[in-house]
Amino acid sequence: MEKIEGKDGDSRSSMKIRNLINKTDNSKLQALDPETLEPGPCSSAHAKSDPVTGDVYNFNLEFGRDPTYRIFRVSASTGQTSILATLHAAAAYIHSFCLTENYVILCVWNSFHVAGGLKVLWTRNIVDALSYDSTRPARWYVIDRRPPDEGGRGLVAVYESDAFFCFHTANSYEQPSSSGKGKDIVADLIIYNNINCLTHFYLENLMSTASSASPKPAHLSYTTRLTRFRLPCVPAAESMDIKSPSRAVIEFQTDPDEIFELPTLNPHYVTHPHRYIYGVRHTNNSTFFDGLVKYDTVTHRITGWNEHGQSASEAIFIPRKSEDGAEEYDEDDGVLLSVVLNGNTNKSYLLVLDAKTMTEVARADTNGAIGFGFHGTHVPDIGGKGLDF
């Protein structure tokens, strides 16, 4: 892996961003100049970061007859990479994983690479080389976040749940177990009942000149739900019997008619219990996301924003900041930023919503259309740690 050299901040910039990285599901990262956004050298893969230490956690997958996952940590203080665990499991397309204060949770869900990944050689794309098997359970691997030389236990527990596919995890955290032994892991994910959603993003399925939405064809039929899983009784000291997985329990799910994706939350609550989750919604009034949504995990109430002909992108939460650090604000006290495409003018604008009420605060128009991407980030002009979740 080639080391990406950061740039020193200077007197012209208060941001002091040393590294800015562009990522996809490919096995490479693209370094960008933090001021000009010009591309630089490439290195490897998708990650999550600890909100306190800044340590980065990730995994890579080695294809072959016995596929191998390696879960690793990159220390923010030393830059050293440590392998936390190595495990063998079915090769799957995994876009996101879970992180708590003490554990990395890798769920191998049902988006399997056919023939151990070899099928992509003749399909020439990943989507057509994947399969979904509703009879095979999803398997959750819980890994100690500490490396072995710091007392880490490696793989400490394995769980199973019914088959599902997932793009994005929302948040995960730990709670004392009701049994009094160890802790439970709570994980909120957006799950699908198949992988048909992958073909939804083909250009021919997104383009439409019709004045109203038409029913989905069979090959685009799927349901999606925000789902809370609980992994009970993760042992605090010893490890579970890895050969006999425990059962992951579903605590609640949203209505399948409420299509909800790209989940975000107040970044102060990452790896901690949260109440509110934000996302984009698809009400079938267009061929793409057509609104923004706020979900209350306590009351299960859904509020949202949408306007006809407007296609929203990921909602990025910006929490209200205390001037002196002494004030405490509600979890949903802040604003949401979303780049929205106006289908009537074919131009984009930056939408600012009150995160409490989901009402518009302001919008900033642009002179053209801004290309859609899955994710964005907010970079404060006063510096601070970057957070990837």
Would you state the structure tokens that stand for residue 65, as one six-digit string?
């007859």
Instruction: For residue 148, give the 3-state DSSP assignment.
Output: helix
Residue 341 structure tokens? 């495409």
Under DSSP, the state recorded for 1 is -
From residue 89, alpha-carbon distances to 126, 131, 240, 248, 259 in Å are 19, 15, 17, 18, 30
Residue from 264, 262, 263 nearest 334 by CA: 264
**C-alpha closest to that of 156 among 145, 143, 147:** 143
268 is in an annotated binding site: no
Q: What residues are paired with 231 via a beta bridge?
A: 185
End-to-end CA distance of the chain: 23
183 token code pair: 């802790």
The annotation status of 219 as a binding-site residue, yes or no, is no
Q: Is 375 annotated as a binding residue?
A: yes
Tell which phi-psi region holds residue 169, choosing left (phi > 0), alpha (psi between -120 and 50) or beta: beta
Alpha helix (H) ranges present in the chain? 120-123, 203-206
Among residues 119, 259, 256, the alpha carbon closest in space to that of 200 is found at: 259
Sorted by sequence, the CB contacts under 8 Å of residue 212 that are 6+ apart come out as: none
Neighbours of 69 (CB within 10 A): 21
DSSP code of residue 243: T
CB 193 within 8 A of CB 279: no
CB burial readout 351-384, b (16+ within 10 A) else e: bbbebbebeeeeeeeeeeeeebeeeeeeeeeeee
In the sheet where 39-43 sits, what is the strand order? 20-23, 29-32, 39-43
- Known binding-site positions for Fe cation: 46, 95, 168, 375
Q: Which residues are known binding-site members?
A: 46, 95, 168, 375
